[in-house]
Amino acid sequence: MLSAPLNIHWELTNRCNLRCIHCYQQDDERDAVMPSASLLSIIAHRIADASVFELTLTGGEIMMVKQLPWLLDFFNERGIEPHVTSNGTLVSERRADELAARRLTFQVSIDSADPSVHDGVRQKRGALARAVRGIERLVERGVSVSVAYTCMPQNADSVPGVLELAERIGVHKVCVGEVLPYFGGRSQRTQMTRSTEATTNAHNRLLALVDAYAGRIDLKLAFQGVETDDPVPKRQSCTALDRDLAILHDGSAYPCPFVRKAAYRLGSVVDTPIRELWSCAAAERFRREKTELHVFHCRLEAEPTDSSAGSLLPMLQPANVRSTSVISSAERSLAQDFDASSASS
Amino acid sequence: MHAAGSTSLNEHKLCRALRSRAEPGGRTIVYNRAREQYLFANEQALQLIDELRAGGTLSEQCRVVAERNRVPELVAATSIVRTLLALAGQIVASESPDDTGNLPAVWTLAGELGPALERCETFGMPL
């Protein structure tokens, strides 16, 4: 085990100007807050003290955090060049100037080059146009921008269009990820287990695109296959508490941004140095469950339901969705234990 | 190790760009942001990085390493070059410490911690 994380994912706020259907923070919405400057300062110092190498600054929508330039300066002065992830809709001329004056990489989520699909997923008309304009402003100023494409049944055929769009606006890196087995808020959660055939076909199409765009766009795949030349798609290794740590907007530390059950809260970085949280008893328990019981903790976050994405937005009908239980009996038992312990605490 | 590229190497610029963190067991993690790469480094590799970062020359370091380890300068030079090329991402570092005694050496995190740990991602998503 390492002495501290290599990478920290820090959600500076859980407030957002969009309501994306696949957002894993929907259940936080009622408590959405903007961070105080003092809280940001404390957390930033904790991160610097932990000597992490990579830092992902995100939200909610991070461009709503007015202290972002100060934070970027703070980390730049300590040799850290943060990765900033955003929906791209709030990158004005002024904010683009602020970002261009710092050392960072900037990632914008694009679900499709088709506005009806992207705006549908984002539940905001005009979201794609604004995100594209935001990217263009950053590219014009020399900021290193990548596009994140989250593959879901609703946009499974959109990758070629996203690549064409990226190339047209001067983005040379596209990162393809996928939604978790469950996504969205509890009230409208959708199960997303695809058939092996569909997964393999999608994976093969992506591999072909890697070759087709070689030298023009660096297409990074987090989509099933661990390596881009891997002929057999397979689940990625979980890196929670091996290399990565999540810090939420209030300073709470969790093993992963997708594991937000109170029982897995490691503590607060406001009170405790990150290295101590990294090796605390709760962290050790999480690692044992992951390695010895082979628990996929992110699956414990969701109650399995038969709801379909069609109930979210009529225009976004899922394809290749198979409604099967992906929760093992061991995981189900753990989930019940944690629900009980959370209720009693 | 095997060749993975042929671009030129500016060792001073490279060493100034590296960041490092000491880990238990006498190992140090070295991070190359430009190459999105993590490696473990031994004490002699760190000394080499520090000397080059401070402006030392490769020929000086060859003599220092040769004298310190009582090996021919050619052996020291080979070790240094392999270390720098691996740090620059131009060759793939070994998956465990080389059988180089106390000579400068770097090796991947993958052998000990798994391949997922040395990719520059956040919870599986490339950045």
Token pair in block for residue A79? 């040799």
- CA–CA separation, A224 and A227 (whole Å): 9
Please answer whether residues A219 and A163 qualify as being in contact, where contact means their C-beta atoms are separated by less than 8 angstroms. Answer: yes
A10 Cβ contact list (under 8 Å, min separation 6): A43, A47, A55, A56, A57, A58, A246, A247
Name every residue in B having a CB less than 8 A away from some CB of A.
Answer: 19, 21-24, 29, 31, 33, 38, 113-117, 120-127
Residue A302 at interface with chain B, using a CB cutoff of 8 Å: no
Q: Which of A6, A53, A222 sits opposite B124 (nearest CB)?
A: A222
Percentages helix, strand, coil for chain B, rounded to the nearest 5?
A: 45, 20, 35
Q: How far is A252 from chain B (nearest CA, A)?
A: 17
CB contact under 8 A, A244 and B21: no
Q: Which residues of B touch A238 (CB under 8 A)?
A: 116, 124
Confidence bin at B31 (pLDDT 50/70/90): very high
Taken in order B126, A183, A153, A169, the sign of the CA dihedral is negative
A-B contacts at Cβ under 8 angstroms: 80
Confidence bin at A223 (pLDDT 50/70/90): low
A331-340: average pLDDT:
45
CB contact under 8 A, B122 and A244: yes
User: Which has the higher per-residue pLDDT, A14 or A237?
Assistant: A14
Residue of chain B minimizing CA distance to A226? B116
In the sheet that B106-108 helps form, which strands lie side by side, from edge to edge?
A: B19-22, B28-32, B37-41, B106-108
CB contact under 8 A, B38 and A6: yes
Residue of chain B minimizing CA distance to A10? B122
CB contact under 8 A, A239 and B124: yes
Q: What percent of chain A has pLDDT over 70?
A: 75
What is the overall mean pLDDT for chain A? Answer: 81
Determine the pLDDT at residue B92. Answer: 84
Least confident of A155-159, A180-184, A310-314: A310-314
Q: Which of B19, B29, B123 sits opposite A256 (nearest CB)?
A: B123
- Using DSSP's 3-state secondary structure scheme, residue B94 falls into strand
Q: Which residues of B touch A9 (CB under 8 A)?
A: 122-123
- CA–CA separation, A73 and A197 (whole Å): 47
- CA–CA separation, A210 and A76 (whole Å): 32
Confidence bin at B2 (pLDDT 50/70/90): very low
Confidence bin at B126 (pLDDT 50/70/90): confident
Please answer whether residues A297 and A264 qualify as being in contact, where contact means their C-beta atoms are separated by less than 8 angstroms. Answer: yes
A181-200: average pLDDT:
63
- CA–CA separation, A1 and A5 (whole Å): 10
**Cα angle value A104/A226/A286 (rounded, 5°):** 80
- Asked if omega into A60 is within 30° of 0 (cis), the reply is yes
In B1-127, which ranges are continuous DSSP H helix? 11-17, 43-53, 58-69, 73-87, 110-113
Determine the pLDDT at residue A318. Answer: 35
| ipTM over cut 0.90 | no
Q: Which residues of B touch A236 (CB under 8 A)?
A: 116, 124
- CA–CA separation, A104 and A134 (whole Å): 16
* Residue of A151, A235, A243 to mutate, interface with B, max B Cβ within 10 Å: A243
Strand partners, A175: A148, A220
* Per-residue pLDDT tens digits for A86-129: 999 999 999 999 999 999 999 999 999 999 999 999 999 999 99
Q: Which of B23, B29, B125 sits opposite A148 (nearest CB)?
A: B125
Residue A109 at interface with chain B, using a CB cutoff of 8 Å: no
CB contact under 8 A, B125 and A4: no
CB contact under 8 A, A3 and B24: yes
- CA–CA separation, A249 and A92 (whole Å): 24
Determine the pLDDT at residue A110. Answer: 97
Residue A271 has pLDDT above 60, yes or no: yes
- CA–CA separation, A281 and A251 (whole Å): 18
Strand partners, A220: A175
CB contact under 8 A, A237 and B116: yes
Residue A279 at interface with chain B, using a CB cutoff of 8 Å: no
**Cα angle value A27/A126/A10 (rounded, 5°):** 40
Q: How far is A344 from chain B (nearest CA, A)?
A: 30
Residue A323 has pLDDT above 70, yes or no: no
Residue of chain B minimizing CA distance to A58? B122
A155-171: average pLDDT:
93
Q: How far is B22 from chain A (nearest CA, A)?
A: 9
A14-30: average pLDDT:
81
Determine the pLDDT at residue A339. Answer: 41
